[in-house]
Structure 1
Amino acid sequence: MPISQADLRNAANQAGAQTRVAKRADQRTAFLCHSHHDHELALGLQALLRQQGLDLYIDWQDSTMPPEPNAETAKQLRRRIMNSEWFLFLATANSTASRWCPWELGYADGKMPNEKIVIVPTRDSQKTHGNEYLQLYRTIETDSVGGLSIFNPNTKSGYRVSSI
């Protein structure tokens, strides 16, 4: 089931103003592709995935990124995508309308193994976002017991995020 945007907001609020936790040597890394308009949702997803042992890179938390998008931004994003084990696309109305998000997804698609690209479909009070990608990539969704699992395209088979 797609992750509720309300659940992501709650996770962000519960995490509060926590500072970024240092990455453990054995911790998996993921690049988060998202719209900056979804700041709170990104923080909520980061908090939930941190509990599962996944370190989530969010570009606006990186002080080395240029303040305004430019060619250097693209260069750094490419490097960050390639240095991450996973690429996550937070699917919302904002990210699917963004100019940068489809570019990042296309770059990852051309450079990373397909099984390392994962869509995080979300639902709000009106609809589910991310359906256009569900047949191409794996998804991270809420599983039957309320945890987060990765599901293969077009199947109900999956495994817990904590096991990656």
Structure 2
Amino acid sequence: MVFGGAREALRKSAKLDSYDIFLSHSFRDAEIILGVKKILERSGRTVYVDWIEDAQLDRSSVTAETADLLRRRMKQSLSLVYAYSESSTTSKWMPWELGYFDGYRSGQSIGIMPLVSGPGVKPAGQEYLGLYPRVEELKSESGRLLPYVVRGPGDGTQWKSLEDLGRATSSFKRLANGR
């Protein structure tokens, strides 16, 4: 699925003690997640992806050792981005990560990033994802596409930066002039 050379290069450049973002995702989306990681890093954030940072983990089975390591990594992270896809609905770990992180840091530090198309995607059976703001790419003041945390539909849309997500701020700004 992921090319060995690219995976190894990413692993060698990794191994941090703290992260801005814990990227919760389904391993079935590994190729897409590499792109998501790059998108999030464009805003200057550091991103934890388990199979890059901790390749020794076997996420296909639930063990106390894996849970302990994931808890430690979440405690080292300021925010969590939940990459929602069709694959995430069958993940053994994603709902657990979301619940743990919400209890540990707060819902103010969580953003949902839909990897499936369509406005206002509301996954059946996972309506709780609607409790959190979305992570979407918007044009920055300089005209670059960058990820922002957004809430609200249409003209009422509000945004905050990924940095503000890590600070667990509840203040959002009004969306104006296409940004």
Task: Report the TM-score when normalising by structure 2.
Answer: 0.68
Supply the distance in 2 between the matched residues of 1:96 and 1:41 (Cα, whole angstroms). Answer: 16
Q: Does 1:115 align with 2:104?
A: no
* Larger relative contact order (CA 8 Å, sep ≥ 6): 1
What amino acid is aligned across from residue 137 of structure 1 in structure 2? Y
Q: What RMSD over aligned residues (CA atoms) do the two structures have, in Å?
A: 3.3
Supply the distance in 2 between the matched residues of 1:133 and 1:142 (Cα, whole angstroms). Answer: 22
Supply the distance in 1 between the matched residues of 2:16 and 2:28 (Cα, whole angstroms). Answer: 29
Q: C-alpha displacement at 1:77, in angstroms?
A: 0.4
Q: For structure 1, list consecutive stretches of 5 or more residues without a partner in the other structure.
A: 1-11
Q: C-alpha displacement at 1:80, in angstroms?
A: 0.6
**Counterpart position of 2:41:** 50
Aligned length: 149
User: Share of identical aligned residues, percent?
Assistant: 32
8 Å contact kept, 1:117–1:137: yes
Supply the distance in 1 between the matched residues of 2:25 and 2:164 (Cα, whole angstroms). Answer: 24
| Higher mean C-alpha displacement, 69-78 vs 141-150 | 141-150
- Structure 1 residues 152 and 65: CA distance shift in structure 2, 3 A: farther
Q: For structure 2, list consecutive stretches of 5 or more residues without a partner in the other structure.
A: 166-179
What amino acid is aligned across from residue 98 of structure 1 in structure 2? S
Q: C-alpha displacement at 1:118, in angstroms?
A: 0.9
Q: C-alpha displacement at 1:24, in angstroms?
A: 9.2
Q: Does 1:135 align with 2:130?
A: yes
- Structure 1 residues 28 and 101: CA distance shift in structure 2, 3 A: closer
Supply the distance in 1 between the matched residues of 2:51 and 2:14 (Cα, whole angstroms). Answer: 17
8 Å contact kept, 1:142–1:149: yes
Supply the distance in 1 between the matched residues of 2:119 and 2:55 (Cα, whole angstroms). Answer: 36
**Counterpart position of 2:82:** 89
**Counterpart position of 1:17:** 6
What amino acid is aligned across from residue 62 of structure 1 in structure 2? E
**Counterpart position of 2:25:** 34
Q: C-alpha displacement at 1:50, in angstroms?
A: 1.2
**Counterpart position of 2:150:** 151
8 Å contact kept, 1:141–1:148: yes
Q: C-alpha displacement at 1:44, in angstroms?
A: 0.5
**Counterpart position of 1:75:** 68
Residues 99-114 of structure 1: matches in 2 within 5 Å?
A: 99-114=92-107
Deviations 1:79-123 (A, max 9, x none): 111110011100001112212111111111111121101111122
8 Å contact kept, 1:119–1:130: no
